[in-house]
């Protein structure tokens, strides 16, 4: 009799645990399928170039989805697949909202490949090619021609070191030199050349590697002033040697 009571006593806590577990599971099912948490609104902030519809479509979420089941990392990854999107922050707004905050990439320079087509594209500071550049020339945006085999197209990425070389060189230029600069040219070995047009006279400035860039530009400004005072037209100026070499323009 005592033994039967002991078995019954042990069975009671087990039955209670099973019952509580069943209640918990059922509550979770109800909780995660409750219409209270269905997605009803999606707010998008920070976008100017990319439309809200494109961002929502990339996020792959729909009205009626349970916001508790939505994967925030997956939305981040999907929205960042849009070339214009630099960063994404997604947050749930209870009970049925979603907030997508984006930071868009901004064009920092115009790039092209050294080939007969010379197609120009806008690219950002990280080297992402964003779109075909408009035909309007902008003297205050650096233009860069890259000597490379790989084709440049929207969605591709350019060597970020070459982008940095161009942007660093651009910050060293004064307004006068910016006004006559046609474009930077950077070869496979990251040697930098400035292609200029001074009073309809083409001038090539071969800076080579960008070590001591500030001192090279300081010397270049002084040299250009000297050549201007002496009325000397140069075909090119070469800084790839211990001393800058000036090739005078051949008289016709």
User: Residues 82-90: what's their mean pLDDT?
Assistant: 97
Task: Identify the weakest region by mean pLDDT among 55-59, 114-118, 156-160.
Answer: 114-118
Same domain flag for 133 and 78 = no
- With 70 as the cut, is the pLDDT of residue 115 above it? yes
- With 90 as the cut, is the pLDDT of residue 98 above it? yes
Please state, in angstroms and rounded to a whole number, the distance separating the CA atoms of residues 15 and 28. Answer: 20
Same domain flag for 123 and 205 = yes
- With 60 as the cut, is the pLDDT of residue 80 above it? yes
Tell me if 211 is assigned to some domain.
Answer: yes
Tell me if 15 is assigned to some domain.
Answer: no
Task: Identify the weakest region by mean pLDDT among 6-15, 60-69, 210-219.
Answer: 6-15
User: Residues 108-135: what's their mean pLDDT?
Assistant: 92
Longest CA–CA separation in the chain, Å: 126
Instruction: Tell me the per-residue pLDDT of 180-226, one tens digit each, with 9 for 90 and over.
Output: 999 999 999 999 999 999 888 999 999 999 888 889 999 999 999 99
Q: Report pLDDT for 242.
A: 87
Please state, in angstroms and rounded to a whole number, the distance separating the CA atoms of residues 132 and 75. Answer: 27
Domain containing 83: what range? 37-104
User: Residues 73-85: what's their mean pLDDT?
Assistant: 96
Same domain flag for 62 and 183 = no
Number of domains in the chain: 2
Q: Report pLDDT for 140.
A: 83
């Amino acid at each position: 009799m005592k033994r039967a009571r002991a078995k019954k006593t042990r069975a009671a806590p087990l039955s209670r645990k099973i019952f509580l577990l069943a209640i918990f599971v059922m509550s979770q099912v109800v909780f995660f399928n409750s219409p209270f948490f269905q997605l009803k609104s999606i707010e998008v902030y920070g976008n100017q170039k990319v439309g809200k519809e494109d961002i929502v479509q990339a996020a792959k979420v729909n009205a009626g989805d349970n916001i508790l089941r939505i994967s925030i990392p997956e939305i981040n990854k999907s929205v960042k697949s849009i070339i214009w999107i630099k960063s994404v922050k997604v947050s749930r707004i209870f009970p049925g909202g979603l907030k997508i905050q984006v930071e868009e990439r901004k064009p920092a320079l115009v790039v092209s490949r050294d080939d007969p087509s010379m197609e120009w594209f806008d690219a950002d500071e990280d080297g992402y090619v964003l779109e075909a550049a408009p035909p309007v020339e902008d003297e205050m945006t650096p233009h860069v021609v890259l000597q490379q085999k790989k084709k440049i197209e929207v969605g591709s990425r350019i060597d970020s070191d070459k982008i940095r070389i161009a942007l660093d060189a651009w910050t060293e230029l004064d307004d006068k030199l910016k006004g006559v600069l046609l474009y930077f040219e950077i070869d496979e070995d990251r040697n930098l050349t400035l292609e200029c047009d001074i009073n309809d006279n083409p001038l090539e400035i071969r800076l080579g590697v960008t070590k001591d860039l500030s001192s090279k530009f300081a010397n270049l400004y002084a040299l250009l002033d000297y050549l201007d005072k002496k009325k000397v037209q140069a075909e090119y100026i070469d800084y790839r040697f211990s001393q800058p070499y000036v090739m005078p323009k051949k008289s016709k």
